[in-house]
Structure 1
Amino acid sequence: MGGLLNRRGLLVGGLAAVVSVAACGQHGSTPTVASSVPGHSDPLEELKAGNARFADGQMMHPRQSPQRRAELTDRQDPMAIVFSCIDSRVPPEIVFDQGLGDLFVIRTGAQDYDALIEGSIEYGAIMDHTPLMVVLGHQRCGAATAAVKSLEQHKPAPAHLAEVVEALKPAYLEAKQTPWKSLDDLIEATIRAQIRATVAALRTDPPLAMNSSNNQLRIVGAHYALDTGIVRWSDQ
């Protein structure tokens, strides 16, 4: 863990230095938040619209042409960062019906994050000025299921999965305080608690908190239902 923290310190220090220099060159100017998607000024509304198309089976598959690919060979300007689970059933670009260059996507089991993940998120938010950060959990998460079963049965998880279980333990303990009646209820409560905890942690990360307080970054939680394809949002 010490190595991770040291590497994060180097990355964040470098980001802060670059941002400081950029700020000096923009003295007196007011930062603006813009979407990379033509015709849309609100990235969150664009993701909501894209998910509605996906859930309804009316996908447009936008910005996936050879021309779009050529436009992005030497630049990118994503409108959002999506931090989601590794689950193969929840690919953000498809769930939100987006195209090439629209999203920064970071994926780990049950949105478990560490210093390197934080550094990657900070890169998108600070270096590329991405205006929206989405923490996307989902129904029947396999990582959360494995963690809850391990903790409920007091059976250690194998290999590095034990680290995932340990990372999800606070969410599990919060979920245990809810009026759950079945193991499925407890798993779902753990998934939602993990979304809330991750959003809260990211909002208190100093570089991200600074951008958020300046209205340059919005951090929201979201939950994807495998049964319907619908993403429900927690905008506050």
Structure 2
Amino acid sequence: MKIYALSDLHLSHAETKPMDIFGEVWINHMDIIVDHWVKIIREEDRVLIPGDISWAMRMDKARIDLDMLEDLPGYKICIRGNHDYWWDRPGKLNAQYNKLYFLQNKAYMIDKLAICGSRGWICAGSVNFNEEDERILDRELIRLRLSLDDAIKNQAKEIIVMLHYPPTNNADRLSPFISLFKEYPVCHVVYGHLHDETSWQGALQGMNEGIRYDLVSADYLKFIPKLIRA
């Protein structure tokens, strides 16, 4: 079993959302995702999907996208992104699929390795950060702590964290998310959300104070799932 990560799939089988307005790299991107996926992922593998899964606004519209993911090889662990408006109660979603797991407030266990996560949010110091942002940030930190605590309850020795948003501002390597990681045996953090060269260049990547960080936005990875654990 191997663990891969690929964020920001932005599937749109039921919604008219031509992604090539964001650049030529997005032309026929859903076909490209499937082509790479079936060549790389095996049935026993896990694929972490840190949000922005489908452009659908409602679950009945998202179903065709989720069914496509269900049919692809491997088990997929998903968290909510800022565009996943269709996201319903995780328990309800999990009851509908066998190879898709919707993660919120819990940990997904693989022996003593835990997969934890939350959507995350922009951090204080971001442009136009306001009281509403602070409220959402506090809520996401609570959700992440609940997920991490569930990992410890299940005797996790190592933890991989998924966030949709980057864990810190480009100009500041400190954040409440990074402080929270240090309270637990977090070894690896994957995140997405970023879709331009400037953001990619400033993103936190590689080892930082004993934790590895990887940006896994689909366009950044050219739609090739990134191996994060062999």
TM-score with structure 1 setting the length = 0.31
More helix by share: 1
More strand by share: 2
* Bigger CA radius of gyration: 1
TM-score with structure 2 setting the length = 0.31
